[in-house]
Each structure stands twice: as C-alpha cells, then as structure tokens.
Structure 1
Amino acid sequence: MRVLFLVHSFNSLAQRLFVELSEHGMEVSVEFDINDAVTREAVALFKPDVVLAPFLKRAIPEDVFTAVPCLIVHPGVRGDRGPSALDWAILRREKLWGVTILQAEAELDAGPVWTWREFAMRPAAKSSLYRNEVTEAAVEAVMEALAMIAVGDFSPERRSRGSDWEVTGVANPLCRQGDRTIDWQRDSTLRVLRKIRSADGSPGLLDDIEGTPFYHYDVHPAEGLTGEPGALIARSGNAIARATRTGAIWIGHLRATADGSLKLPAVRVLGARAAQLPEVPDGYREISYTEAGDVGFLEFSFYNGAMSTDQCRRLKDAYIEALSRPTKVLVLTGGPDTWSNGLHLGVIEAADSPADESLANIEAMDDLCRAIVTTTDRLVISAVRGNAGAGGVFMALAADEVWARSGVVLNPHYKDMGNLYGSEYWTYLLPKRVGAENAERIAAARLPMGVAEAVRLGLVDKALTGDPVALDDEILQEATALAATPGLAQRIWDKRMSRARDEADRPLADYRAEEIEKMKLNFYGFDPSYHVARNNFIRKVPKSRTPLTLARHRSTKA
C-alpha cells in the first residue's frame, strides 16, 4: 500500500506512524502542507492509495479527498470536533479520551468515522499525553483503518445520534487564554496545574508575574511549600515556585510576550528577580539517583529532552558521583517522555553569541559522553524510555548496552539541523556498533527509526515492553538479573581490555578533535545553514518545502 502523509510538520506522532507503516512494508512518502497546489502535485506524483493526515491544521482540497481516500487522525473521542481537543479534555477533567480516524471532508473533523481507540486520562501535561497515550492509540487505530481499506469492503459510518455506536464528544471552539485563566486566590494547586498543563507545549498559559505577563510551561507540584497565592516564593535549579491557595507549584520554563521572546528556563527569564528567591535544594529535580541492590539508577528528565551546557555539566557530575557507589550495573534513564535530543537549541539561540554557546554546549556533551565511554569498573546501561534525537542517540550509545521501549522513535542524525556534523564521539560509537557501511547509511538517511529496525542494525541491544506502566519494573528486573550474572566480572574485564585496545588504536581525543573541528565550521564558518536552521526550528518558522529525504515522490522525480 502506498501512503502519502500530509502534515503541518513532521512531529512525534507523524514520525511514529511513519516508522510503523514502513515496518509493515508500506511505501510511505511525506509532504508538508504548504498550499493546495503542492498537495495536488504530491498526490499526482506519488499516486497514493491513501492520504493520511496525522497532524494537519487546514482542510484537504476537495478535489483531492474526492479522488483518493483521505484519513484524518483526530486526538479526540467520537464526536469531538475542533483544534483544541486535548486542551479541553484536560481542563474538563475527562476520565476517558481517545483518538478517532475520520474521512476528510470540506468541514474539519466532520467526516465519517473509520475507527477509534480510547484510553484513560492521567494527570499530565498535554505534550506528555500526546507523546504517549494519543500516539499509542493513533497507531492502533490507523493500522486498523488501513487494513479496512486494503480489504476494500468497509464503509465508514457517518457520525450521528442515530448510529449504532455512542457519540461521546461535541464540537468545541479553539481554547483561548481566557478559558484557562488562573484565579490564584481561589484555584487549588491541582486546578492551577491542570490549567497550565492544558497549554503545555503550545501556546503556554499566559499569566502575570508581579505585573509582567509571561507564558508558563513545565509545571510540577512543589511539595511542602506555601505562601501568598500567586507570589514567587522559591527557586530550585532552573525553576521558580509560585504559591497557590492550597500549596505551590514549580514552573520550569517561561516565555516573555515581546516579539522574538523564547521559551527558556524560568530562572534565566526572570534574572535578578529569581536570584533573590530562597533556594530549595532538590525541589525541582531534573536529576536523581537511587539504588536497588547492586544496581544504581541515574535518572535525568530534561524538558523536551534539550540539554544545556549547565545541564550536561550537572549530569556529568551526578554520573561521577554515582560511580563512587559500590554497584555492578549503572542504569541511565532519561525522562519517560524524552530520553535526550542533544543540544539545547533554545538556550543557544538566546545567547549573546550562539556560536560560542554552541561550542560550549557540545564540549559539555562530549565531557559527559567521555565519562560514560571510559567507565570500566561496571556495566553501564542506557534505558531509553522516551524518544531520542541527534546527540541524545549517540549519548545513549556511549553505554555498554542500549535498551529501548518498544514504540520509541530514534533520530540518529544531525544533518537536518543545517548540515550539522555532530560530535558525542559518534564517529567512534556508531561504526563500532553497526559497522562502517551501516553507519554511513544511517547518517545520510535523515529518517526516524523504530526500535525493531534499531535492534536489527545493532543500534539497540534489547527491546523492552511498550507499556509505560510496566516499563520501570522490567528495567529493574533486567538490570538486577544482569548484576547477578555469574560471568559479569569477566565481562567487565573484557570491557576494560577492549577499551584499552581501542584507545591504543586511536585515542578518543582524536575522534573528538576531528568532530569538533568540523563543528566549528558549522558554528563559525562562512555557511550559515546551522544558524538559519536553528532559528527556524526554535521560532517555528513554517517550512517552505519538504526535505527530499521525506518527500520520496519528489526525490524520485529529481
């Protein structure tokens, strides 16, 4: 089956569906929804059996949806309509939500229903629900709908009260700031969290802090803190705490309202005002360490997987401290939503010299990776629970084994960010795992990769359960069993000898020096592609064309 993706952007859901459909042997090509003429041309070139819209903000042209089946992935229950499905579901404390596959029509979200999936809601940010529950439900529903099309004898059902299934949703308008305004004197901590979480990712919740408006993101309960509702009462790491009527919340990121303002760590945005607040150590915990017998667990959960210079340095310090513990196995676990996406492009963009900050950030990433690679007294495991991209993938490869949750999407490449060369010792780590030929192919492909393919290539050693609830227990069981393996001491010895041979053959410092020299050309050279691509990415500048690596129908034409 030939499936053309029509997308506003190639977001996490679109990437996961791309991986799943490709894994099932379907021919998949992608076109960004730039204008109707481009869409028509893409359909004419690719001649798809189905057009799939996992993330679309405009209606598909009528002459397209009448000529070929067009399926819309809507993140809402049957009957739900409108562009703010998850926002309203969170605000209204829905217990059950879902994903519906609709046939495209002129009126948005109004077409006949092909299939749907439902899931239990949990108290989480919109972006987290989208990456997890929505994505898993969408994969199941899309695969069922495509199977129906392949059979060819299914007629989608018009949504109506007379149908033999229950319509559970309603049409909703765009959720605006006024629909989630915080009343600090009346709203409980849970209600404040819910309002900000409903806007997390985009657009953020707009609220005044001491008379100045800011968009709020990345919120968590601040246990044990109280104060005057709405007041700033503490800071912890990059976060600031605001009191509510019943407690307090941590706010990890803010964005000013002025044109060109960026979403950045809250302490950085507030500057001197934040510096005056009392510090609460470990109040807002991005990094934590626990032990279970002979196994240590170092968890790092950075917002959207971005790792700034400071975060890299703190994680390296925490890693070195974890090595002081008498464990046999050390497990690195990123956040449940995202493992790591490498450099913090937002902090880099906001720096006085983005080039200098880029270099500082990659040097800090390299220092962290080197500490992992040169650990020879125990086994180190990268347990990848969430999606990973660019330098985050190669940081995972620095460990002895990589375990990944089924359903995770990896993007083991840098070049889409303005032909960025990349570091994190990838020129050593990637060929060592997959061979020189596969390493070259992976770096050039610029495509998302699923865990099944990563296991076949040797990029991942073990595929874990796809159930996020059972995942942590499986990681604990696997790590505990590994620590109790009779041949573990010999394996650690073999690891030490292998590292010594590799170092004698070519020192790690040589790989790093070569990578950094090529990255300096990206940062300081005459070609501004990296800086342009970073700016466009951070500021969400719409794409003017689809990359040929995704638009296979166009690369074939070329």
Structure 2
Amino acid sequence: MRILLLCHSFNSLTQRLFAELRARGHQLSVELDINDRVTEEAVAMFQPDLLIAPFLKRRIPASVWQALPCLVVHPGPPGDQGPSALDWAVLRGERDWGVTVLQANAEFDAGPVWAHAAFPLRQAAKGSLYRREVTQAALAATLAAVQRFQNGERVGDAPPPALWRPAMRQADRAIHWADHTTAEVLARLRCADGQPGVLDALWGQACHLMDGHAASGSVMSGFPDAAPGDLLAVRDGALLRRTRDGGVWIGHVRRADAAAGFKQVAAQAFATEATALPELPAPLQRPEDEWGELRYTEHGPEGARVGCLHFDFHNGAMSTGRCERLRAAWLAVRERPLKVLLLMGGEDFFSNGIDLNAIEAAAHRSGDSAADASWRNIQAMNDLALAVIETTDWLTVSLLRGNAGAGGAFLALAADEVWAHEGVVLNPHYKNMGNLYGSEYWTYLLPRRLGEAGAQALMRQRTPLRALDAWHMTLIDHCDEAGREGFEDRCLQRALALAASYNLPQRLAAKQATRERDEARRPLAHHREQELARMHRNFYGFDPSYHVARHHFVHKLPHAWTPRHLAVHR
C-alpha cells in the first residue's frame, strides 16, 4: 500500500514504524506536520491509501480525515484521551499501560479503535518507556491495524467509555522538596523527562529539571545535616539534591533565560555555582544502587573472563568530557586479564555521537565558540574510537541495547563484532546534521564490512536502518530476535562461550595480523587526517549548514519544510 506518515517530527517511534512498514513492502512517504495546507498538499501529491500519524501535537485537519482513512497512534490504552497520556501514567505509577491505534474523527482520541497492545509499565523515565515499551507496542498495534485495512475493513471497533486526561500542567509536576519523598520526586522528574522538564529553581534561578536518579543511602549518609532542597555535590555533571527521605541526582536542566534556554548538563548550566560543591566520583566497580554514567562488571572463570563496560549517557550524547572519561575507563580496564570485552552503551541509546547541546552551549561562553567545541568533541570521539580499534589482545563486542546514530553508530563498528537487539534502529550516516562528512574512522571501519561501493552507498542514504536489515547486509554480526527482556543475559552467555572457545587464540592472532596489514596499507592516522580535513570545513568553512542544523535541533525550532529524502512525494 501507499502509506503517508504524518508526524510532528521524525522521532524514534516514527523511524521504527517507517523502517518496519517499508520492510514489509509498503511505499512510504513522510510529511512533517507544519500546517493544514501542507498536509492537504502532501495527501494530494502522494495519493496514499492510508495515513498514519505516529506522533502529532495538533489535530489532523477535517479536510484530510473526512477524505482519507487516518489512523492515530495514541500512547495510552483504549478509552484513554488527552495529550499527556504517558505523563499521567508515569506520575500516577500505573502498573499496566498500552498503545491504541484509532481512527481520526472530530473528537480528540475518541475515534473507532483499530488495534491496541498492552504492556507492564516499568518504573522509568517517560522517554525510556517511549523508546522501548511504547514503540514496541505501537509497532504491534500499527501492523495489526494495517493488516485489517489490507483485509478490506474500513471501520474500526466502537471505542470504550472515555477517560479524559487534560494536558499536564507544571503545577501537577511541581516538586515540594520538604514534603516529597525520593520516589515522589523521581515520579515528577520522570513524567517530565525530555519535555517539558519540571519547573523549579537552582540557586534562586528558574529552570526546568530532568534526568533524575536516586542517590544511594551510603552517599546520603555523608550529609547528615542537609535539609530538603539543599544542593550537596556533583557527579558526572549531575547535582545531588536532598529530598525528604534521601536524595536525587539531577542530570540535566534547561535554564529559563532566553539566551541558554536549551537542555544542558546541570553542573555546566550552573558552572560558577557548582564549583562550590564537592565532587563525588563513582568508582567503576560499585554496588547496583550507586548511580554513575560509567560502570564496569566482570564475569566468568579465570582464564576466560568477560568484562562489561557500561556508558549510559543521557540521550546517547557524548560530549568531549564524556568521551575522555570513557576512554580513561577503557584504558583502566585494559589492565584486567580479559578475553572478551562488551562495550555496553546505555539501555536506551548506545551512542548518538558528539553532544550538540554541549556544543551549542559553547556558543554562549565568552572566549569559546561552537566551531571550537565541535572540533574538540570530534577529536575526543576519535581518540576513543582509536583506543577500541587498537585493542588487539582481546575480542571486543559492541552491544546495542538501544538505538545508535551518526558517530555513535561508527563507534560501535570500532569493535570486532556488533550485536544488537532486533528493536534497535541505526542511523549510520551524518548528512542529516547539516551535511556533515563525519569521522570516527568511518572511512576505515565501514569498507572493511561493506566494501568501498557498499560503504559509499550507505553514506549517501539518510533513512533509518533496522538491526535486522543491518545484519542481512553484514553491517552488524548478530541480531537477537527474542524479547527485549533478557537480551543482556543472552549476550553475556554468548560472550562467555566466546571467551572459553578453543580457537580464541587463533582468532586473536588473525585479528592482530589484519590490523598490522591494514596499518601498513593505509595508517589510521591518514584516515583521521582526511576525515578531519573535511570536518574542519564543516565547522569553520563558509557553508553554515551544520551550525544552522545544530541550532535548530538544540532549540527545537519548528520545521519549515520536510526533508526531501523523507517526503518522496515532493
């Protein structure tokens, strides 16, 4: 069928549906929801059989839904209505939730139901739930609805009695530090994750808080006299704040002043004030309840040990400092007697490459610039990738539990093998960010998997890639098609078997020989030099496309048009 996706932005859920529907043979085109006239024009040009709206912030115009079947993906169970469905579910601690695909009509979220899928609700941030459980349920429900439509049905089921949930206000999310427990504070931070954040104040300055993590009892025991609301310490850029019965680490904020009104690491957004707080670094190996961005665990018997290096960076953004800390952790782990190392990434993202928000912040600092910050960041990413590539006495595996994009996708390829869950979406290209050329040694890493022609073909396209398709084209080495629950354990068992395999010494010897031959043929330093020459023009040259695209992305500016690689009807 011809299916038009109408969406506010081409977000993770929309990307997954786009890739999955296209893999099933449907002709897909995308139109961003800019205004009613543009939507009407897109329908007239593409002539779709069906319109699907995975992520909207406005109603579909009546001129469209009256003329064409329009299915809306709503992140709530049947009968749930309102624009803040998932926010309310997280705040209220619902145990079960779901996704409903319903037909657009004159009422908000009240049309005939075509399909729905349920799931247990984890205690997690709204964004994490959206990227995992909501996306998986939305895929199942959307495929079921599309199948019904293909079978000739044109009317969905009557909706159940409605429960209207209004748009959540800041008053509903507000934190009262003297009264709220850690669990209550986390529920408020998690339901506002990403957007809009919880309106509060730090050091008397209004800002939106997000990215909360519970502090351990051992950390809080070091501050026996602290009062609720007190700011106590810094770790990995997060600020420790006292609650009624414990504490939370606040990872990111968005300041209310117009000049820097975008998301930043909390301690960097309030850099001057945060210098008065003590640093409390977390050791790599530590108890489970001790939060930190980096964590290392070790498994298996002596002589067949497997290490797991976790780096859970918010939204997969890897700033210069984060790259440097991860590289230092890698070098520290290099001293361990391992056979296999799993580079774990985070639960929601493996990596999305350089940190565009941190780079944007440099444009607001005296004596710095976005171009200089971009240059520092890409150098740090390259140093990290180089450390992985040059590790030849172990087998290294990148484990993609969540999505990977741009430089983060190529960082994954720096390992010997890449294993991913089937729900992962990859965007192994740079062009969508102002036509960046890219680095992270991709000119070395990609051709060794796809060949020169295959590498160039992949870098020319700009659309998302399913993990299953990446496996079929040999971009990755293993795609786990079992349920998301237990994925990490299954991969650990694979790694333990690999570490104990009889032919591991031969594999390592072959790996070392290949690296030596490749270096003799064309040194890694030459790849880096050539890539960075192009990146230097992106950052410092006459074409401002990268800086414009980054600014629009960071400040969440509305789209003026739909990119032509998505809007094929144009």
SS of the aligned residue for 1:468 comes to coil
Moved over 4 A (4+): none
TM alignment of 1:164-175, pairs within 5 A: 170-175=163-168
AA at the equivalent of 1:394: F
Aligned to 1:327, what secondary structure does the other structure show? coil
- Residue deviations 1:422-457, cap 9 Å, x none? 000001111111112221111111010001110111
In the alignment, structure 1 residue 315 sits paired with structure 2 residue 315: no
How far is 1:276 from its partner?
1.4
Contact 2:216 2:291 in 1 (8 A): no
1:270-289 matches, within 5 Å, as 270-282=270-282, 284-289=291-296
Structure-2 separation of matches of 1:108 and 1:428: 51
Report if aligned partners of 1:71, 1:103 keep a CA contact under 8 Å in 2.
yes
Are 1:46 and 2:42 matched, yes or no?
no
SS at match of 2:232: strand
Paired with 1:278 and 1:371, the residues of 2 have a C-alpha distance of 31
Q: Deviations over 1:21-41 (max 9, x none)?
A: 111111111111111221112
Q: CA deviation at 1:210?
A: 3.5
Cα distance in 2 for residues equivalent to 1:64 and 1:278: 58
SS at match of 1:288: strand
C-alpha distance in 1 between matches for 2:478 and 2:154: 38
Q: Give distance in 1, aligned partners of 2:230 and 2:211.
A: 18
- 1:191 match: 184
The secondary structure found in structure 2 opposite 1:185 is coil
Look up the match of 1:108: 108
Counterpart for residue 139 of structure 1: 139
The letter for the 1-side match of 2:505 is A
The match for 1:433 is 449
Corresponding position of 1:455: 471
Tell me how far 1:154 sits from its aligned partner: 5.8
Superposed counterparts of 1:368-383, under 5 Å: 368-383=384-399
The DSSP-based 3-state class of the residue aligned with 2:376 is helix
Q: Secondary structure at the match of 1:553?
A: coil
CA contact (8 A) 1:216 1:251 kept: yes
| Cα distance in 1, alignment partners of residues 149 and 79 from structure 2 | 22
SS at match of 1:253: strand
After superposition, where does 1:525-544 map in structure 2 within 5 Å? Answer: 525-544=541-560
Structure 1 unaligned residues grouped into runs of 5+: 162-168
Q: Which whole-Å CA distance do the structure 2 matches of 1:117 and 1:531 have between them?
A: 41
Query: Is 2:141 the partner of 1:130?
Result: no
Correspondence for 2:357:
346
- Identify which range, 298-307 or 274-283, moves more after superposition: 274-283
1:365 is aligned to 2:358: no
Aligned to 2:518: 502
Equivalent residue for 1:151? 151
Q: Tell me whether 116-125 or 264-273 shows the greater mean CA deviation.
A: 264-273
Equivalence map 1:72-471=2 (5 Å): 72-153=72-153, 155-161=155-161, 170-224=163-217, 225=220, 227-260=226-259, 261-282=261-282, 284-293=291-300, 294-351=305-362, 352-471=368-487
Q: CA deviation at 1:461?
A: 0.4
**TM-score, normalising length from structure 1?**
0.96
How far 1:158 sits from its partner (Å)? Answer: 2.4
Query: 2: distance between equivalents of 1:281 and 1:61?
Result: 52
Aligned-partner SS, 2:148: helix
Partner of residue 479, structure 1: 495
Alignment match, 1:511: 527
Q: Residues of 1 paired with 2:351 and 2:559: CA distance?
A: 24
Residues 454-481 of structure 1, C-alpha deviations (whole Å, 9 max, x = no match): 0111111000245332111111101001
Residue 272 of structure 1 deviates from its aligned partner by 2.6
Unaligned runs of 5+ in 2: 283-289, 363-367
- The AA in structure 2 aligned to 1:305 is G
Name the residue aligned to 1:164: none
Amino acid at match of 2:412: A
1:313-345 CA-partner distances (Å, limit 9, x unpaired): 110111111111110001100101010000000
Cα distance in structure 1, aligned partners of 2:311 and 2:460: 29
Contact persistence 2:31–2:39 (CA under 8 A)? yes
Structure 2 residue identity aligned to 1:245: R
Displacement of 1:523 = 0.4
Measure, in 2, the Cα distance between the counterparts of 1:13 and 1:106: 25
1:348-387 superposed Cα distances (whole Å, 9 cap, x missing partner)? 0110300011000000000000111111101000001000
Report the counterpart of residue 166 of structure 1 in structure 2: none
Distance 1:160 1:262 in 2: 40
Q: Return the alpha-carbon distance in structure 1 between the equivalents of residues 155 and 34 of structure 2.
A: 30
CA displacement at 1:284 relative to structure 2: 4.0
Asked if the contact 1:418–1:532 (Cα under 8 Å) also holds between the matched residues in 2, the reply is yes
In 2: Cα distance, 1:441 partner to 1:322 partner: 36
The one-character-per-residue Cα deviations of 1:104-156 (angstroms, maximum 9, x if unpaired) are: 11322121111111111111111001001100000000000000000013631
Pairing of 1:28-43 with structure 2 (within 5 A) = 28-43=28-43
Matches of 2:38 and 2:263, distance apart in 1: 32
Task: Look up the equivalent residue of 1:278 and give its one-letter code.
Answer: P
Aligned residue for 1:427, secondary structure, equals helix
Q: CA deviation at 1:280?
A: 1.8
Quick one: distance in 2 between partners of 1:115 and 1:516? 49
How far, CA to CA, are the matches of 1:394 and 1:290 in structure 2?
A: 24
Report the secondary structure of 1:229's partner residue: coil
Which residue is equivalent to 1:165? none
Correspondence for 1:71: 71
Q: Indicate if the aligned counterparts of 1:333 and 1:382 stay in contact, CA closer than 8 A.
A: yes
- Letter aligned with residue 298 of structure 2: E
- Calculate the TM-score normalised by the size of structure 2: 0.94
| Residue number in structure 2 paired with 1:16 | 16
Paired with 2:153 and 2:552, the residues of 1 have a C-alpha distance of 45
Amino acid at match of 2:141: A
Deviations 1:282-339 (A, max 9, x none): 1641111111021011110000000000100110111111111110001100101010
Q: Is the 8 A contact 2:203 2:273 kept in 1?
A: no
In structure 2, C-alpha distance between the alignment counterparts of 1:40 and 1:281, rounded to whole Å: 54
Shift of 1:179: 0.7
After the TM superposition, which of the residue ranges 51-60 and 458-467 deviates more from structure 2? 458-467
Which region of structure 1 is more displaced relative to structure 2, 207-216 or 99-108? 207-216
Are the aligned partners of 2:409 and 2:426 in contact in 1 as well (CA < 8 Å)? yes
Distance 1:368 1:465 in 2: 30
1:60–1:106 Cα contact (<8 Å) kept: no
1:187-209 residue CA offsets vs partner (Å, 9 max, x unmatched): 11000000111101100001122
Amino acid in structure 2 at the alignment position of 1:182: I
Q: Distance in 2 between matches of 1:278 and 1:544?
A: 45
Does the CA-based 8 Å contact 1:239-1:284 persist in structure 2? Answer: no
Asked if structure 2 preserves the Cα contact closer than 8 Å seen for 1:403 and 1:460, the reply is: yes
